[in-house]
Structure 1
Amino acid sequence: MDITLLGHACVRLDKNGSRLVIDPGAFSATDALDDATAVLVTHDHVDHVVPDELRAALVGRAELEVWAPEAVVGAVVGDDDAVASRVHTVSPGDHLDVAGFAVDVVGDKHAVIHPDVPQIANVGYLVDGVVLHPGDAFTVPDAAVEVLLVPVAAPWLKTAEAIDYVRAVGARRAVPIHDAILADAGRTLVDGLLGERGPGIGDTQYTRVQPGETISAG
């Protein structure tokens, strides 16, 4: 499996001619949906999905399918019944075959932004038992993980929480995502704390991957 970061929380997974895209939001590369076979969305915040853009992609490509929580499904389908059959609702605990990828749906709620801000639905996706994309949450799956896509900057997140999350998952490799709000100096600081200048993340290797860069796993 090839893993390509496409900006902020968006990643593309390529395997055996299938292309799976996760969370193509407003901060993602503009071509994030190009040639996608399928799309997974973790929750309905705009940095993870732009419903109008995803609907337009569905209209333009009859083979494209989407899996997402109920709120996202409603926003993407809108009044266009023609795409409804290709936009599927997921629930925690689901085990899916998505374009040849085995996907386990984990977690159920967005991390707390503030006690006065209602929590929304958020699911994570463990793909082929290899790559975990948690969305905006700290979900620890009941399975080994090779690559954890770890959020490192958000209104709901402290760096200490990211460190503890990496420790809890215990993946072979942690790759930072969800960092569009950071300047270069902030990325350097976060990378240091999660890497060799920090308190330690066990045996997990922390690897910064640049937008558009591809790594292999599985």
Structure 2
Amino acid sequence: MTTLTWWGHACVQLERGGARLVIDPGTFSDLSVLDAADAVLVTHEHPDHVAVDPLRTALATRSHLEVWAAPAVVDLLDGAGGAAGRVHAVHGGDAFTAAGFEVTALGEWHELVHPDVPRVPNVAYLVDGAVLHPGDSFTLPPSMTSVDVLLAPVGGPWLKLAEVIDYVRAVHPRLVVPIHDAPLSDIGRALADRLLTSLGGSPEYRRLAGGDELVLG
């Protein structure tokens, strides 16, 4: 049995058999999630997806913690105390096991914010072939992949809700869980929920509050 917990903004935790996999623990999230993390995945280098100093501290204090991330994040973590061999650069197409979860990296570019803003690499993660965290992208899963849970970004300078709706339709998961919503007001969240529920086409849409757990499978 796998449990998914939302820790604010783009950060989620997957737990199974006592092992905890954390994705995108950034500065807008509750970073106490790192206190019990066994593995961390980071999609890209922006601070709302990776809080560098807290993650470096976690690597220094949790001797078994491993991190997989886009190469720019690996550079930011370079020299973290005692972390040699536990921080791994990831590119689209890579596959690996993290805290007992089977992970496939997809991508690998951040969506365009503005033509004057350089794009950075962004690696989406498909976990156990079932849970897709796209980071700041509309990266699609491999053809013929049936995604069970899509963690869908709903607020940010690089997206509009019409694009999110089309992305949800293209992935067509069983369940949509909205993430990446720190820039939104309560009214904005309600609007996103209403539009994605009515137009996304997925059988289920569920917004989680901070610390809420969702049993998968």
Query: What TM-score bracket applies, with the shorter chain setting the length?
Result: over 0.9
| Within-5 A mapping of 1:191-202 | 191-196=193-198, 200-202=199-201
Shift of 1:201: 1.9
Q: TM-score, normalised by structure 2?
A: 0.96
Q: Look up the match of 2:84.
A: 84
Cα distance per residue 1:117-162 (max 9 Å; x no partner): 1110000100001110000000111111000000000000000011
Q: Look up the match of 2:52.
A: 51
SS in 2 for 1:166: helix
CA distance in 2, matches of 1:128, 1:102: 5
CA distance in 2, matches of 1:165, 1:65: 31
Q: Look up the match of 1:173.
A: 175
Shift of 1:82: 2.8
CA distance in 2, matches of 1:145, 1:124: 13
For the aligned residue pairs, the C-alpha RMSD in angstroms reads 1.1
Alignment partner of 2:150 out of 148, 151, 171: 148
Greater strand proportion: 2
Q: Look up the match of 1:204.
A: 203
SS in 2 for 1:191: helix
Aligned residues: 214
Structure 1 contact 166–204 (Cα < 8 Å) conserved: no
What is the percentage of aligned positions where both structures have the same residue? 55
Q: Look up the match of 1:38.
A: 39
Task: Tell whether 2:160 aligns with 1:158.
Answer: yes
Shift of 1:81: 6.3
Unpaired segments of 5 or more residues in structure 1? none
CA distance in 2, matches of 1:115, 1:130: 33
| Within-5 A mapping of 1:56-135 | 56-77=57-78, 79-80=79-80, 82-135=82-135
Structure 2 contact 60–80 (Cα < 8 Å) conserved: no
Moved over 3 A (4+): none
Question: AA paired with 2:68?
Answer: W
Question: AA paired with 2:192?
Answer: V
CA distance in 1, matches of 2:122, 2:28: 18
Question: AA paired with 2:126?
Answer: L
Q: TM-score, normalised by structure 1?
A: 0.95
Structure 1 contact 130–217 (Cα < 8 Å) conserved: no
Unpaired segments of 5 or more residues in structure 2? none
